[in-house]
Amino acid sequence: MEDTPLQIQHLGREEIITEYFNRGFSYSNILSFLAIHHNIVLSKRQLQRILKDQGLSRRVNKSNLNDVMDAIEREITESSSRNFGYRFMTQRLRSLGLVVDKETVRLCLKEMDPEGVLNRSRHRLNRRIYIARGPNYLWHLDGYDKLKPYGFCIHGAIDGFSRKILWLKVGTTNNDPSVVASYFLDTLVTLNALPRCVRADRGSENITLCGMQRFFRRNGIDSVAGKKSFLYGTSTSNQRIEAWWSFLKKARSSWWINFFRDLIAQGIYDPSLYLHKSCMQFCLMGIIQRELDETKVLWNSHHVRRVRNSECPSGKPDVLYFAQNFHDYKKLLNLNDVGICRELLNIRMQPNPPNNILQRCQQLVVENNLRIANSANEGVELFCSLMRLF
């Protein structure tokens, strides 16, 4: 499920309420989202009655401690979630339908993963003051290359004010200007919002996106219209997304880095071989994207604490981004302009040569009745099975 209120319109009223509740939103946040994004107007008492009928409560009917500990054990042994702190782990467990408080999760993690707790408490970083005046005031985007040596390239964007993750994608490349521009266009259409300004580094992958943003803002009359609506800078000046990559490494990607290093050390995987890399992408790409989607949803619905070096308010990124009590700096999105950019993008996108290895992997899965992987370990088993068949 996607992480923005506008993208769960197809669900029924009770399902929407359950989804928002499981994401940890307060009653007032849920009522606001229902009214603004779903045209559902309820009183607080009606909402409480619906939640009671659904058996949903955060203070009573707490989940069995054994169930909580089993879920935590699965998260820290079977996925990269073992790097989550207790606040983020609490959010993750609630998204799975468990009723649990932060203190219980903190004590469980301290008992079950003392080494991880110690590692997370070692350093603190000091950063300069950051200023963004409202949602869509400034978007930050960047590629993330920590998993690139193993065949998985990540790209993401964040709203500077709300800290909402706008997109988080993994693919075979994050250097193709057409791929990065397609992420941007898809997000504009999904959110029906055009940012006041976008910041990125000087990589060649941002050339097409830069042209699109300046084209969209060509007729603006504010101080950053036209060419000024896209800012190039160093990675250190793109601090919002760079800081978030640090979080991603601690929360998810460091686990995958160690996972791939172990496979290489055991002689199972050699990413320098095109056959190996293509097969591993076939086996694990969907699993990594699923984890990124989960991380995006969890981040956008968790509470960001107030910090001294930022003038941005505390709160949940989704709530801050969609809230009506902040000035939204989004600009009018002209769908005709989007169509023009889509056509130009399709012309510029060079058709990639067919990856015969990926096609062959799909054939072997069907012919040999192999099971598509749902976890990292299952992905390795599938990879080994495919290697034996090639």
pLDDT band at 386 (very low <50, low <70, confident <90, very high): very high
Closest CA to 188 of 332, 63, 313: 332
Beta bridge partners of 171: 153
pLDDT, the chain, mean? 87
Q: Are strands 139-144 and 230-232 parallel, antiparallel or unpaired?
A: unpaired
Q: What is the pTM of this model?
A: 0.77
Q: Cβ atoms within 10 A of the Cβ of 257, count?
A: 16
- pLDDT tens across 22-32, in order? 887 888 889 98
Q: For residue 45, is it left (φ>0), alpha (ψ between -120 and 50) or beta?
A: alpha
Token output for 331 = 């600009």
d(C-alpha 390, C-alpha 324), whole Å:
57
**Are 340 and 346 contacting, i.e. CB atoms less than 8 angstroms apart?**
no
Model pLDDT, residue 354: 62
d(C-alpha 221, C-alpha 216), whole Å:
12
Token output for 221 = 């009359």
Token output for 349 = 């996108």
What separation in angstroms does the CA of 143 have from each of 152, 166, 203, 207? 11, 13, 9, 14
pLDDT band at 4 (very low <50, low <70, confident <90, very high): low
**How many residues in total does the chain contain?**
390
Residue 126: pLDDT over 50: no
**Are 321 and 135 contacting, i.e. CB atoms less than 8 angstroms apart?**
yes
- pLDDT tens across 265-310, in order? 999 999 999 999 999 999 999 999 999 999 999 999 999 887 665 6
Model pLDDT, residue 316: 92
- pLDDT tens across 223-235, in order? 899 999 999 987 6
Model pLDDT, residue 18: 87
